[in-house]
Each structure stands twice: as C-alpha cells, then as structure tokens.
Amino acid sequence: MKVIDCDLSNEKELAGLFMGRPVKSSEGQVDDICIYWQKPHSKPLSELPGLRLGTYLGDPNVCGIRLPALFWPMLQAEGTITCDLTIDAMRFELQVAAVEEHYIISIQRILTNVVQKEPIQATMYNDFFTNADVGIVFMDRNGLIKEVNPALEKMTGYKAEELVNTVTATTLRVPEVHQRQMTELLPFISDKSLTGEKIILAYLEEKGILKRENTLLRKDGGQLPILSTVTKVFNRTGGCLGFVNYLFDISELKQTQAGLFKANERLTLATQAGKVGIWEFNTLTKEYTWDEETYKIHGVSPKEPAALTMSYFLSLVHPQDRDYILSKSKEVDEKEFDLEPIRIIRPDGKLRYIKYSGRRLYNNQATLADVIGVVMDVTDRHLAQLALTQSEKMYRFLVNNLKAAIFEMDLQGNLIYLNSFWKEMTGFETEPALGTNCMEFIHPEDRPINSERFSSLMSRKTTEVRHEIRHRTQDGGYRWVELFAKLTLDETGQPNGSIGTLYDISDRKRIEEVLSESEKRFKAIFNSTFQYMALTDTAGNILEVNQSSLKAGGDTYEEVAGKPFWKMNTFKLSPHTQEQLLHFFHSAANGQAVHREVEIYNETQQCHTVDFSIKPIRNDQGAIVSLLTEGRNITQEKNAKQALLESEQRFREIAENVDEIFWSRAGDEAKFLYINPAYERITGQTCQQLYDDPTSLLEIVAEEDRPALQRLLTANVSEDYSTELRLKVKDGSFHWFRARIFIIRDEKGNVRRKVGIAGDITLQKEKEMLLTKSLEKEKELNMLKSQFVSYVSHEFRTPLTVVQSSIELVQHYLFNANGSNLNEQYASKIKHHFSVINNKIQYFTNLLTDILTLQQIEIGKISFFPQPTDIVILATDVLNEFFADRPDERFAELRTEGTPRPIMLDEKLITRILINLLSNAFKFSNTNPRLCLVFQEQQLKIEIIDGGIGIPAEDIPRLFTTFFRAGNVDGIGGTGLGLQISKQLVELHGGYIEVDSCENKGTTMTIVIPSLH
C-alpha cells in the first residue's frame, strides 16, 4: 500500500466520501462499482442527487457522472485514478482507490487555484480510517503498534492508548495459532534461523504482503475469527515506513460456513441412507454437478469425465431412450418434472434403470436459470414391475387357453355339469358320469380331505377351496389334479351347490421337486458371461459344470463331479497351471476374487490362453458357500493383437519405401506423429525438423499455395479432402504435388488422426496443359462448325422457301385459275406429287430447325426464361391447338394428380417438349395417348404414355443420341433429333427424362422437373 502524497494546485472542499464493491465481468475485469457505504452525517450532493447507497458509479442516468473513456481499464491496471469533472459549470475532483477487495471514492469540489507546497495525507483515506468498519493497525518496522482505528478498538476491547507504542501485533493473536502460522511461514523466508515475530517481519520485508485467515485475541479473552491483510507503507520517496494491517470480522461467515457444513453433512447422510443422488444443471455453462451418490448410481468415478456435459450424460443413456431425454429437456413450461425410468449403460457395461425428477428454477425475467433434481436407481423395482406385468400377461394367456375340466355339483356332491375336456383328461364319458357323486372319482386316501374342504365351503366357513387330489381315470389309474371350487347361490342367497375347475398337474408334480433344486444351480452357473463355467465348493470340488468346460477336455460330468476342478483333463498337460489354480481356489475360499490369465496345453502341445476368474458366492449370513469359476478362451484375441503389431511393422516397411510423402498428425494438434523418409529424399529437409517445428513445412511450399496447405492440414470434413500445390524439391525447383488427407474418427465421431499422402504429379500437370490447349483448339473448331451450320441453314431455307412458293403458285394456276380444264385423272396424280413435294419440303425444314436448335443448345445461345407457369392450362392449349382435329379422330387424354400449382417453366421450351413427345406417341401407336401431370411436394412429373410398338431393349441406351432411330421404326418418318432436343431442353430446367418401354406393348416417357427450380 502507498500513502498518497500529492501537490494540490487547487483549493478543494470535500463533497462526499463513499465505499463500494467491484462489479466484475465474466473475464474478471472491473466494469463498475456498487456504493455500499457513505460517510455518516454527510449531506447528499445537490449537484449529484443520484449518488447514494445501492447505486452504481458507472450509471450516468442515475448518478449523473460521465466518466472518461479509459476510466475502468486504468483503474484495473493502476488500482487508483484521479480525474476532473464538470457538473453544472462547477468543477469536481473524483478520486477512486482500491483497498483490498473494496474501493474508496472521494468527491471534492474545486474552489480556487492555490499552491500548497507541503505534502498532505489524502483526506479520503483519513475519513476511511476513522469511519470504516474494518480494523486498521499501523506498525513500525519492528512490529510495534503505532496507531489503531476505532473499529479495531471495538473488535479487541482495548483502548488505543493500551496498544499504541506499548505492544506488538503479536499481543492480539492467540498464541498457539500464532505459533503454528509462524512455523508455516518459515520455509518461505531466506533466514531459517529466525524465531518468533521476526519470522513475520522477515516475510513482510521479502514478500511485501501477508494475507490469511487468523484469530484475534480480545481483551476479555474471547477469540474472534478475522481475515488479516498486512502490507508495507511507503513515504513519497519510496522509503518503507512500516506496515498496515487490515482486519475484517468474518465471524458471521464462519458461523454460516459451519452451519452450511452441518446441513451438507445431514443432506449427505440422508441421500446416502435413501440411496438418492442430487444433481444440478447450469444453464450458463451447460454442465451438470453431481453429488457422490449420483456418481455411484451412474457407475462413474468423479475423476473420470473431464466435464459433465449433456453429451457425456447422453453417452451413458441407452440409445433407445436418448430421444425421450432430449424431448423432455426441451420442455421448459412445467416447473416440476418427474420422468419415466430410463436405461443407462454404465462404463462397466451394466444396464440399470434410473428415475429422474426435479424442478426448473427461473429468474426475475422468467428465463430458465437452473435445473435441480434427484435421481434414484429403480432397477430392482422396475424389473420386478416388468416381471409382474409379464406374469399377468402370461396368466391371462393361460386362462384364455386353459385346458382344464370345469364341473358343477349340487349340495350333495353329485355332478350336474362336466365340460368336454373332462373326458379328454379322465377318459370317461361325460353323460353317464352326470348324477354320480364326485367321491366316486377321487382316490380313497384323498376323500377325507376333499370332504372336509367342501363341508367348510357349504357351511360358508370359507368362500373358496383349492387343494390337490388324485382323480381316477378310465384305465384304472389316477392323475394328480388341482381342484378349485366356489359356492353357488340361488336367487335368495342360499347355497345351492358349487362350481369349479380340475387342472391336470401330474407332470408338474413329477418335476416340481427336481426343478426347485436344479433352478438354483442353473442360475448360479449360467447367469454369467464367460464361455467356460463351473460351480465348486470352497475346496474347489466340482458341483456343476457346463458342457463347454467338459468338451474342452473331453470329460463327462460323471468323471469330474466331486473332484477338484484342476484335475479336469483340460489341465492335465499343464502342471504349472494346476499349481496356479490350486492357489487361486485357496485365495477365493478366503473371500478374495481372482481374475488372471492362464495357459493350458492340448495333446498337440498347442498353447491356449484363458481369461480365468473365480468369484466367491455367499449365503444370506455372508458366509462363503461355493465358488463360481469362469473362463474364456482369448487365444484368438491375443493372436489378433500380435497380428496387429506385425501389420503395423509391414505398414512401416511399405510407407518407408514408397515414393509418395506420407504423414500422420494428431486429431486437434498441429504436431506430426509420423512422416516417412520420402520427405527427406524429395525435399532435402529432415523429418526431425518437421517434428520439432511443424510450420517449417510452409518454407518449401510455394507462397501462393500456402493457404491451400493450411486448408488441407486443418480440414475436418466427413469425406476425404485433396488439393494440388507446389513443393520445392531437393534441386531447388518446384514440382506439382497432389496431397490428400484422410480423417480417422473414433466411435463417437471425434477426430483421432489425420493421415495424409502427397505424390508428384508434375508430368501429369504438363499433360493437362497440353490437353487444355487441345480443348481450346477444339472449341475454335466447334465455333467454326456452329457458324457453318447457321450459314448452311440460312442458305437452305431460302431456296426451300422459293420452291414452296412456286409450288403453291403452280397449284393455284392449275386448280383454282379460271379456265383450268385438267383431266380429272391427271389432276389427281398431279395433286399427289404436289403433296409429296410439300411433305419433303416440310421434312427438310423441320430437320434444319432441329439441327439449328441442337447447335444453339450446344453453344449455350438458346433463350431460357423461366417464369411461374400453370402447366395444366399450358398442356390443355397444346392438346387443343396441335392434336385436337386429327384425321384419324384420335386424341390425347389429360390427367392430373396432386394439387396443381404454378411451376417455374419456360413456356416456349416446354411446349416444344410436349409437341415432340406427343407427336411420337401418336406416330408410333394406334390408340389414344395419355398425358399425366403429377404434382409432388418437391417436383413436377410429366408422363406421356402410349400403347404402341414400343422400343427394343437394346436400343434404349442410345435413344437420346443424335440422329438415332430405333430398329423397329422402318417406314415411319422422323429425323432422330426430337428426343435429343427434348432431353437438352428438360435439362435446362434442372430436370431429367426417363424412358420405360416394352416392345409391342407401349412406351412411357417421364419428365421430372424440380418444383423449386
């Protein structure tokens, strides 16, 4: 600390003295101060009426102070700041100084400009010294108390005159605590020979500050917990005057901490006793906080996860339950929630059913601030409920499919009804048996108990009877049945007989005793995961063993039952393993679980490795009654690991002898894990240089290609990534290389490795340059061809137009002019030839049009102006204009599917497509074609369907090539260009065209155009 000495150039009047606490940002920077203390009896400033307790210094709308732009950064860096303010034409001086975790704020009104040459102590600190609630002690360099403030007198019970120039600060410390603290400080000073209070003085001289919790010894002998901070005091020349000790009363904090500790202990005991875990989710950090019981429930060590994020929690949740958890986490309207039990898979592989419940906490702005709750392991209860539900389903199924005899008797026990199953069970006919007393069919030894039970039923001592008896059968034998009966009443409520069932339990009786004993052994042996299993007594003698263990050594159960486990044939060729097993069984019998790898040999002296374990099994009293032995042949796994090592060695042999540069890098780190020797051979740089400084790779990359290299090395894409760049090779020249990177991820999708390879493609690049030049020449030729086609089309159209006009004039003069007397026979022939000429002219004109259209498409000069189009109206217009009045009276059927809507289309081009395809449909069929418009969510589908001659399967792949015509269209006119043009025009719309045809059955042409194109 420094006492503030300054030369004042202005006469000032203290206007206000305040203390405040810092308000810090998330990065720990001070960005405001909250006022919590004001000098007593001071009047509020009329110029700053808003500056009062509870306000913020940096809020100009409340305090009325406009602080300089760099006010907070300078205060953060220097710990003190002084600045002039002008408020309502009056000048003020604002001083702010940091004192520990608090700030003193002084505002003085500047009255006149005077010069005071003598240094004075800052007024604001004097006021703070006198009025603060913090105890302050000034000491000289020997620790002698020189001054104390009123707050310290109140804290200690001493008067200032009892302490000042009389005692050292040690007098105010509890001796045993003070001695322990001095011992703790001794290792941190240079002179280890010092003792007593000299240790503290030496520490302050060397370190400058001492901050710690301490205990103040009051005059009355009482003790007060405090937070003590001792710092040096300097004069304006930098000389040390002594020390100042700030003492903060933390007794209430300590009481609160103690109460909180006890409450936490009680809560911990309660949650441990109830096996209930407590958790919290922080909506700011997106992380969970778990208590010890919650970690236990999830089977996770508190040290294991780096952060308890939602992603980590979901990794524990069963995949089939994750969507449920995610959907519930998005429900923020309900304050309280109680989830259904979900499954989690612990890190040890065990599946548990867990139930979560809790509350959502909201701040004053009704925004979700925090989520807290409890968690319980309900596996046992849930499995019991599942078992109960399953049992109920099975019971209902059995009842609905029950094969039981149903009977009804009167009060005397005579049978008055039997169902058909009674005959199936006993062999007796039902009709003759009616009217017979039931005792006739019951074994003589069981008649007394049956008579007694029914007497109790008839006398209403019981509401039902259930017991087991032996029932006679037609062949003279007996079958065990379970009898169940209830009383029947007449309309007056009086007994009139009984009704019940007879369930054949003969088979059950025979196996019940065997099943009861074998079920226990079965569960003990086979409810495990290892391949070889056996149950032994505590001495290692075999009680039960599974077939896998017997087959391994060629034993039978009779041969090994009751004998030591290690005497099985499996181990007879492995004496050392037998000795190991004997020791293992002895350890397990004493309560120690065993898990080891052992080696066994077969008759061919092949060695097998077995993962072997022994688990003690205890009874309800905790005594070990048997041992569960498990083993799994892991020979293949061990061999696989060895093969992996060999594979890695082969990989290195290949990588270190190829001509391409090969490297491997860590997933999120810049360092290289491996680079092959080809790097040194090609570049002349050493691999070690690259290991030590990964950025050295940039030095051999052409400057223009370095950004491409950066993108390659930092790529984090799902697919392989490649680029081309130039590297400086050993002779100093630059060669072109193609570099590729492969991302290797773990099962969670995290990047584990980035593997790259770069090969020299200089020769290939030179060939590409030659090819580029060739393509440019070809483009020039295509342009000449386009110009030639345009020229030829124009030159052909002109004479064709003249011929067409001449033919029309000749026809007019021959047939329409006055005085034409042509013979009808000749006139008919002349008209025929005129028709042939006109058809050929039209054919040639269409051919020229198609060729010119294709040429325009190829060079990209065809006009394409899509706009929202009602395709239904457009299709209707095409059909009416071009296909309505055909000589053969055929027409095209228009159908629509889905909801029609405007589609982005070029009406002119779509019209030409429809005309081309519909013309083909009419041309190659004798039936009415169908035009179907199918409106789908993302696309428009247009289908033209005919029942004509179809297209041979071998011709379909070439159907859309220029001038190609199918092999079955001889005698039918066409240019072979219509489908090629239609395909190109459809692709201009971002769509495609498909054909589905069967020869002699018909053809379907399908156009698909994206509706959002």
CA distance 728 to 737: 10
Q: Minimum mean pLDDT among 15-19, 429-433, 833-837: which range?
A: 833-837
3-class secondary structure, 608: strand
Q: Minimum mean pLDDT among 56-60, 389-393, 681-685, 984-988: which range?
A: 389-393
Q: According to the model, what pLDDT value does residue 441 have? A: 93
Q: According to the model, what pLDDT value does residue 122 have? A: 44
Sign, Cα dihedral of 824, 827, 832, 833 = positive
Helix and strand tally (H, E) in the chain?
A: 28, 40
> CB count, 10 Å around CB of 173?
21
Between 551 and 145, where is the model more confident?
A: 145
Q: 208-252: per-residue pLDDT in tens?
A: 888 888 889 999 988 999 888 888 877 656 677 788 888 888 888
For domain 275-387, give the CATH number.
3.30.450.20
3-class secondary structure, 908: helix
Contacts of 72 (CB under 8 A, 6+ apart): 29, 30, 31, 32, 58
Say yes or no to pLDDT of 401 above 60.
no
Kindly indicate the confidence band of residue 113, based on its pLDDT and cuts at 50, 70 and 90: very low
Options 3.40.50.1580, 2.40.30.10, 3.30.450.20, 1.20.1560.10; CATH for 97-256 is: 3.30.450.20
CA distance 572 to 575: 7
Q: According to the model, what pLDDT value does residue 521 have? A: 66
- Chain mean pLDDT for the chain: 80
Say yes or no to pLDDT of 932 above 90.
yes
Say yes or no to pLDDT of 65 above 90.
no
Say yes or no to pLDDT of 507 above 90.
no
Question: For the residues 5-33, what does the mean pLDDT come to?
Answer: 68
Are 174 and 225 in contact, with CB atoms under 8 Å apart? no
CA distance 564 to 570: 12
Q: According to the model, what pLDDT value does residue 127 have? A: 66
Token pair 């042509």 is found at 822
Kindly indicate the confidence band of residue 615, based on its pLDDT and cuts at 50, 70 and 90: very high
Q: Above pLDDT 90, what percent of the chain?
A: 14
Say yes or no to pLDDT of 123 above 60.
no
Q: 550-583: per-residue pLDDT in tens?
A: 877 788 888 888 899 888 888 877 888 888 888 9
Where exactly are the structural domains of the chain? 97-256, 275-387, 391-505, 515-638, 640-752, 862-1010
For the entire predicted model, the pTM comes to: 0.28
Determine the angle formed by the axes of helices 871-882 and 907-923, rounding to 10 degrees: 50
For domain 515-638, give the CATH number.
3.30.450.20
Domains 275-387 and 640-752 share a fold: yes
Q: 851-865: per-residue pLDDT in tens?
A: 656 656 665 667 788
First to last CA, the chain: 74
Q: According to the model, what pLDDT value does residue 818 have? A: 60
Are 199 and 221 in contact, with CB atoms under 8 Å apart? no
Using a 10 angstrom Cβ sphere, with 0-12 exposed, 13-18 middle and 19 or more buried, the burial of residue 915 is middle
Say yes or no to pLDDT of 9 above 70.
no
Using a 10 angstrom Cβ sphere, with 0-12 exposed, 13-18 middle and 19 or more buried, the burial of residue 905 is buried
209, 215, 218, 222 alpha-carbon torsion, rounded to 10°: 170
Amino acid code (one letter) for 917: L
Q: 175-189: per-residue pLDDT in tens?
A: 888 888 888 888 988
Q: According to the model, what pLDDT value does residue 354 have? A: 92
Using a 10 angstrom Cβ sphere, with 0-12 exposed, 13-18 middle and 19 or more buried, the burial of residue 588 is buried
Determine the topology of domain 640-752 in CATH: Beta-Lactamase (3.30.450)
Say yes or no to pLDDT of 986 above 70.
yes
The Cα-based distances of 110 to 3, 12, 118, 125 in angstroms read 22, 4, 19, 18
Q: According to the model, what pLDDT value does residue 269 have? A: 66
Beta bridge partners of 232: 243
Say yes or no to pLDDT of 415 above 90.
yes
Say yes or no to pLDDT of 525 above 70.
no
Q: 258-291: per-residue pLDDT in tens?
A: 776 776 666 666 666 667 888 888 877 788 888 8
Question: For the residues 51-61, what does the mean pLDDT come to?
Answer: 77
- Going by C-alpha positions, the residue among 940, 945, 936, 939 that lies closest to residue 894 is 945
Q: According to the model, what pLDDT value does residue 579 have? A: 87
For domain 862-1010, give the CATH number.
3.30.565.10
Homologous superfamily of domain range 391-505: PAS domain (3.30.450.20)
Q: According to the model, what pLDDT value does residue 853 have? A: 66
Kindly indicate the confidence band of residue 5, based on its pLDDT and cuts at 50, 70 and 90: very low
Between 644 and 561, where is the model more confident?
A: 561
Say yes or no to pLDDT of 410 above 50.
yes
Rg (CA), the chain: 51
Q: 336-393: per-residue pLDDT in tens?
A: 888 889 999 998 989 999 999 888 887 666 777 788 888 999 898 888 888 887 777 7
CA distance 835 to 829: 10
Q: Minimum mean pLDDT among 396-400, 805-809, 946-950: which range?
A: 396-400
Kindly indicate the confidence band of residue 788, based on its pLDDT and cuts at 50, 70 and 90: low
Burial state string for 921-953 with b = 16 or more CB within 10 A and e = fewer than 16: bbebbeeebbbbbebeeebbbbbbbbbbbbbee
Query: What tokens were used for 908?
Result: 């002119």
Kindly indicate the confidence band of residue 439, based on its pLDDT and cuts at 50, 70 and 90: very high
CA distance 311 to 506: 57
Say yes or no to pLDDT of 64 above 80.
no
Kindly indicate the confidence band of residue 118, based on its pLDDT and cuts at 50, 70 and 90: very low
Question: For the residues 954-980, what does the mean pLDDT come to?
Answer: 73
Q: Minimum mean pLDDT among 663-667, 958-962, 994-998: which range?
A: 958-962
Kindly indicate the confidence band of residue 46, based on its pLDDT and cuts at 50, 70 and 90: low
